[in-house]
């Protein structure tokens, strides 16, 4: 165990000792970099994420959060009352509809039903007879 | 940097001068060829100049600057991934030799040849640039514990490779 830790320490020491030393700065290279910086047009503050977009996103997130909370905490309005329908009895039909028109419509419905019944009977007879013969 | 943040380009010259040797060594140790180091240095300076407003003066400057330089370098590595045709892959020789006794300066090239690029980078940031694991964690987007574990593994891998290389050397000498 001790041997391992000794070798690890020796390795660390060897790594630290073998680090190449720093040379002095190259003025030509520095000048080139500075010239490039001077030649580059300044970035518009609108395009700097740290100055514009992040605060804007934070404000938008806060607004969305507040809106959500407001929607959740909004007091619920009572449901609108359904208007009551007037209760109508059979006796009130006479008041709602003229008697003559009522009789005529019922008579025509009865005539229609009788015709339909006659047609249905004729069709049934015809089919049953066709099965038999 | 506060003066730089206000747009003072002359103030940045001092920063650029102080950083130049450091970035040169950083790029050269992490495998950037000499011809491309100038471009990377300029790109890093430009980014630092533009991001000067985001710099927090309460924090140390060098880890922040090297984080920017590292990102510039990673972009460069991504764009210039070295590739070898499959037919020529056998012809690529491993010409790294093991460091002999007394040749301590060779340990970094040896480590670069034997370790993965991530492990080598962590070793360099820790022992070459002398950063704390927490600073390395902030630079590389890992947790401090993860960095410690990776450093431990990298050291173990390097020690094992050195041991193997030493054994083969002694075997060669015996023959």
Total of domains in chain B:
2
B55 and B11 assigned to the same domain: yes
In a domain, A1, yes or no: no
Instruction: Tally helices (H) and strands (E) across chain B.
Output: 8, 0
**CATH number, position B54:** 1.10.1740.10
Cβ under 8 Å to A: B residues 104-163: 104-108, 111, 123, 127-128, 130, 155, 158-159, 162
Q: Which of B8, B10, B23, B127 to probe the A interface (max A CBs under 10 A)?
A: B127
B129 and B172 assigned to the same domain: yes
- Going by pLDDT thresholds of 50, 70 and 90, the confidence category of residue B136 is very high
- How far is Cα B107 from Cα A50, in angstroms, rounded to an integer? 41
Q: What ipTM did this prediction achieve?
A: 0.71
DSSP assignment of B150-162 = HHHHHHHHHHHHH
Cβ under 8 Å to B: A residues 64-93: none
Q: How far is CA A113 from the centre of its chain?
A: 54
- Going by pLDDT thresholds of 50, 70 and 90, the confidence category of residue B54 is confident
B75 and B7 assigned to the same domain: yes
Residue carrying structure tokens 């005529």: A104
In a domain, A102, yes or no: yes
In a domain, A123, yes or no: yes
Closest Cα partner for B48 from B75, B23, B12, B79? B12
Cβ under 8 Å to B: A residues 99-128: none
Q: Residue B159: which of A11, A34, A40 has the nearest Cβ? A: A11
B9 and B72 assigned to the same domain: yes
B76 and B124 assigned to the same domain: no
In a domain, A116, yes or no: yes
Alpha helices in A24-88 (DSSP H): 27-39, 54-73
Residue carrying structure tokens 């820790």: B126
In a domain, B51, yes or no: yes
Q: Residue B127: which of A19, A34, A42 has the nearest Cβ? A: A19
pLDDT of residue B174: 46
- Domain containing residue B32: 1-80
Question: Is the CB of A29 inside 8 Å of chain B's CB atoms?
Answer: yes
In a domain, B86, yes or no: no
Record: contact A36-B22, CB cut-off 8 A: no
In a domain, B48, yes or no: yes
Helix B144-174 vs helix B133-140: crossing angle, to nearest 10: 100
In a domain, B125, yes or no: yes
- Going by pLDDT thresholds of 50, 70 and 90, the confidence category of residue B170 is very low
- How far is Cα A12 from Cα B126, in angstroms, rounded to an integer? 10
Question: Is the CB of B166 inside 8 Å of chain A's CB atoms?
Answer: no
DSSP symbol at B88? G
B114 and B171 assigned to the same domain: yes
**CATH number, position B143:** 1.10.10
Record: contact A22-B21, CB cut-off 8 A: yes
Q: In a 3-state reduction of DSSP, which class is residue A1? A: coil
Record: contact B51-A15, CB cut-off 8 A: no
In a domain, A87, yes or no: no
Tens-place pLDDT, residues B100-130: 444 455 888 888 888 898 899 999 999 988 8
B137 and B73 assigned to the same domain: no
In a domain, A92, yes or no: no
B115 and B166 assigned to the same domain: yes
In a domain, B73, yes or no: yes
Q: Report which secondary-structure segment, H or E, holds B170.
A: helix B144-174
Q: Residue B46: which of A7, A27, A37 has the nearest Cβ? A: A37
B56 and B111 assigned to the same domain: no
Record: contact B20-A19, CB cut-off 8 A: no
Tens-place pLDDT, residues A9-58: 888 888 888 888 888 888 888 888 888 888 877 666 655 555 667 788 89
- How far is Cα B146 from Cα A120, in angstroms, rounded to an integer? 90
In a domain, B92, yes or no: no
DSSP assignment of B111-147 = HHHHS-HHHHHHHIIIIIS---HHHHHHHHT--HHHH
In a domain, A90, yes or no: no
- Domain containing residue A125: 98-132
Question: Is the CB of A19 inside 8 Å of chain B's CB atoms?
Answer: yes
Is the dihedral angle over the CA atoms A54, A45, B55, B26 positive or is it negative?
positive
DSSP symbol at A87? P
B1 and B76 assigned to the same domain: yes
Q: Residue B20: which of A16, A30, A37 has the nearest Cβ? A: A30
B116 and B68 assigned to the same domain: no
């Amino acid at each position: 165990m001790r041997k391992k830790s000794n070798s690890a320490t020796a390795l660390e020491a060897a790594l630290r000792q073998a680090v190449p030393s720093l040379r002095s700065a190259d003025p030509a290279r520095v000048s080139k970099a500075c010239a490039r910086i001077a030649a580059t047009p300044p970035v518009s503050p609108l395009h700097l994420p740290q100055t514009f977009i992040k605060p804007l996103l934070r404000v938008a997130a806060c607004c969305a959060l507040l809106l959500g909370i407001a929607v959740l905490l909004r007091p619920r309005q009572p449901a609108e009352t359904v208007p009551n329908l007037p209760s109508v009895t059979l006796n009130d039909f006479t008041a709602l509809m003229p008697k003559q028109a009522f009789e005529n419509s019922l008579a025509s419905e009865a005539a229609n039903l009788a015709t339909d019944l006659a047609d249905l009977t004729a069709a049934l007879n015809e089919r049953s007879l066709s099965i038999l013969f | 940097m506060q003066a730089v943040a206000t747009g003072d380009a002359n103030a940045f010259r001092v920063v650029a001068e102080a950083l130049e040797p450091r970035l040169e060594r950083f790029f050269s140790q992490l495998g950037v060829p000499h011809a491309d180091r100038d471009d990377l240095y300029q790109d890093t300076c430009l980014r630092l100049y533009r991001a000067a407003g985001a710099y927090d003066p309460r924090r140390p400057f060098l880890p922040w600057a090297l984080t920017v330089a590292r990102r510039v370098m990673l972009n460069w590595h991504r764009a210039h991934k070295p590739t070898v045709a499959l037919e020529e892959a056998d012809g690529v020789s491993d010409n790294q030799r093991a460091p002999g006794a007394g040749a301590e300066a060779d340990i970094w090239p040896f480590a670069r040849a034997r370790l993965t690029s991530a492990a080598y980078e962590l070793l360099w940031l820790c022992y070459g640039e002398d950063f704390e694991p927490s600073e390395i964690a902030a630079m590389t987007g890992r947790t401090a514990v993860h960095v410690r574990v990776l450093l431990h593994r990298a050291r173990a891998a390097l020690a094992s490779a050195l041991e193997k290389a030493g054994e083969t050397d002694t075997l060669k000498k015996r023959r």
